[in-house]
Amino acid sequence: MSETTPGGADLAARAAALDTADPLAKLRDRFALPDGLVYLDGNSLGALPAAVPGAVEDVVRRQWGELLIRSWDESGWWTAPERIGDLIAPLIGAAPGQVTVGDSTSVNLFKALVGAARLAAPGRTRMLVDATTFPTDGYIAASAARLTGLEVVPVDPSDAAAHLTDTTAVVLLNHVDYRTGRLHDLPALTRAAHASGALVVWDLCHSAGALPVGLDAHDVDLAVGCTYKYLNGGPGAPAYIYVAQRHQGAFDSPLPGWNSHVEPFAMTPEYEPAQGAARTRVGTPDILSMLALEAALGAWEGVDVADVRAKSLALTDFFLECVAAYVPEGAVEPVTPAPHAERGSQVSLRTANARAVMTELIARGVIGDFRAPDVLRFGFTPLYVSFADAERAARTLGHIFG
């Protein structure tokens, strides 16, 4: 395959021009990326922010090695879950005091679903659950439903509003579908849930850090998300949970731990929850990974999520254009919606022998990922992915099929 489309446009030259004009291009220097590699898997694991290794070394050598237990106070370990939550808050459209960092997404989802069920009006019996959700969300929802006596009703998110009734207690939806990259209408679906008297829990794993979310603006009740994808917190980085301020006083966590006690060091046998977001805590914070995340979030300094969204859409548009130019017709089928209002920050392509194709792409220095049975996924993280990366990825894909 040549670098020129049949129509004569030089896509490589266009990519260079787009990168020159890109106001976010300089942010790539905030990350430690291997030379010569196109990394389009930030929707699974974000790249390493350059500030993280030094920060982790300080945590290990000085804060732990020298200060020892004094670091709970002197280094701010004790307040890290809420402090780092407040760093994430503006990236998901939340005011301070509503986001707590800690535990995994699965654990936080369990807290959110059971907590939402306990907040729901009496007599409601159903939990609507995104039928296309990441499997763990389904497993957790089923367990939460058993605990709270609710019936799980699987729904297609695009049709969820039609299934809402006065028996619906809780709705669990993904903001972006992990397979297809489809973006669901958070504002409209939240309004519909509230109109039926239900509470809504949103999974933001594939949207936070890639596009505006607007939790407060859209009156979302609860939300959870991971930090190792577009937020670049590192493998297994702690997740977060959002509980809207209006619900915090009545939020009844199914996992009350000593860390969420109003007086954790009183060691009393009776449990009394802390006020505010701290009542979502459970056990001792995972300090090493949490403070690595705090350093990673420094890469967002001065960044407007609206600008990130604009670049994300431009990148995915350009990539799809390049795929159409370089890849033989019929070799791949885009499954990510074309309309911007329905697209997250990834492009998924369906093709035969997808696993082998992705293996070959990776061997040629283009890293995306594969989802069974036939989907190639390419995640576009605007903080460090360039238009040249998008052009090279599509051109390499064309070479494989050519």
User: Which of 110, 134, 230, 251 is labelled catalytic?
Assistant: 134
Q: CA angle at residue 224 from 99 to 45, to 5 degrees?
A: 105
The strand order across the sheet containing 369-371 reads: 333-334, 346-350, 375-379, 369-371
| Token pair for 144 | 């939460």
Is residue 62 part of the annotated active site? The answer reads: no
Which of the residues 377, 378, 380, 389 is marked catalytic?
377
Active-site residue flag, 177 = no
The residues with which 242 forms a beta bridge, in sequence order, are 99, 223
- 63: which residues sit within 8 A by CB, 6+ positions away? 71, 75, 77, 291
**Cis amide linkage into residue 373, ω under 30° from 0:** yes
- Lookup result for tokens 């370089």: 326
Which residue among 31, 39, 178, 228 is the active-site one? 228
Identify the three-state secondary structure at position 244: coil
Is 377 catalytic? The answer is yes
**Widest Cα–Cα separation across the chain:** 75
Annotated catalytic residue, options 229, 279, 311, 343? 229
Question: Catalytic annotation on 41?
Answer: no
> Within a 10 A sphere around the Cβ of 35, how many other Cβ atoms?
4
Measure the CA–CA gap between 315 and 40, rounded to whole angstroms.
11
- Check 22, 103, 177, 203 and give the catalytic one: 203
Residue 380 annotated as catalytic: no
Residues in CB range of 50: below 8 A, 6 or more apart: 29, 30, 31, 32
**Phi, psi for 198 (deg, rounded to 5):** -95, 160
- The catalytic residues are 134, 203, 228-229, 377
